[in-house]
Amino acid sequence: MARALLALQARLRPLLGPRAAQRGLHSGGPPRKLDLRGIYPPLVTPFTKQGEVGYSHLEENLRLYGRIPFRGFVVQGSNGETPYLTQQERLEIVRRVRETIPRENLLLAGTGCESTRSTIEMTALMADGGADAALVVTPFYFRGSMTSAALIHHYTQVADASPIPVILYSVPANTGLDLPIDAVLTLAQHPNIVGIKDSGGNITRIALLVHKTQNEDFQVLAGSAGFLLAGYIVGAVGGICALANVLGTQVCQLEQLCQAGSWDEARELQHRLIEPNTAVTQKFGIPGLKQAMEWFGYNGGLCRAPLLPLSEIQVKGLRQDFTSNGWL
């Protein structure tokens, strides 16, 4: 397996370009320090009426987000409709986002594919496009075979080959697969795996991950604004939150209140964010998120088929979730 991996790395080097070549493929050396603390919106991909990626709308959103104290941005996550993008579109989005945002903003790119080989290749290409870290979702198509051993093997191979740090990504609502705790604890010891985005919403699990990895250079990110306060209380360092595409200032304010220990104000703000967060994640999904973005002056754009726009009744329900909490 090691020989095959070296051969694959050699084949990838012509694709990596100067940026990744400067970083060098990971070779088991000292851990890369990457401070993940802060709030990251998982960017949506605006589509035009013709079904093409609206790159100019994406860039305009980024300029508007420049007024908000985000730590960085996530591309190619669930909210970016990644399964519906071509490889060329994925790489062009990463390149354009990197060129638009300030250098001090981290760019986390989703690189997870179903096979280990494809994930390694995509990670190398995203690194050359300017990504600072790879957000790698669990492979799930053959979920019955995705044991802890299989997942440890997968992520280890990816992290060994990756020219950028790797962040684990567990999102059972979309994959039907929760990255097992024992697998996370094993992978947390890898020098090129720096953290996890946990979107499951199980605070006991998040607390246990923080507790069990406190001696490792490993960071936990809450995967939703709905449990961001609880995440901070148990030791998460930040959040990748869909709602930050709409209420970015408020989500960052919640982070600041938690950092300051202003728990009463933080609790009040968290309560007001729960219903709109649920609306743009669980109830109405990405079409709801994009519709809400339009109300707040951002470019949500259309979704790509087979996702459908909201019905009139759904739009009313979405608006109610924002107005009842004082945001509209």
**Active-site residue list:** 197
The separation between CA 108 and the C-alpha centre of its own chain, rounded to angstroms, equals 7
For the purposes of burial, counting CB atoms within 10 Å of the CB of 202, is it exposed (0-12), middle (13-18) or buried (19 or more)?
Answer: middle
> d(Cα 182, Cα 190) in Å, to the nearest integer?
14
Q: Which amino acid is at 245?
A: N
The terminus-to-terminus CA distance of the chain in angstroms comes to 56
> d(Cα 325, Cα 328) in Å, to the nearest integer?
8
φ and ψ at residue 298, rounded to 5 degrees: -105, 170
Strands (E), the chain: 38-40, 72-75, 106-110, 133-137, 166-170, 193-198, 219-222, 238-240
Instruction: Give the residue from 177, 189, 110 showing the smallest Cα distance to 146.
Output: 177
% helix / strand / coil in the chain, to the nearest 5?
55, 10, 35
Instruction: Give the residue from 195, 190, 283, 189 showing the smallest Cα distance to 231.
Output: 195
CB 273 within 8 A of CB 225: yes
CB 70 within 8 A of CB 41: yes
Give the DSSP H/E element, type plus range, for residue 18. helix 2-23
CB 137 within 8 A of CB 169: yes
What residues form DSSP beta bridges with 219? 195
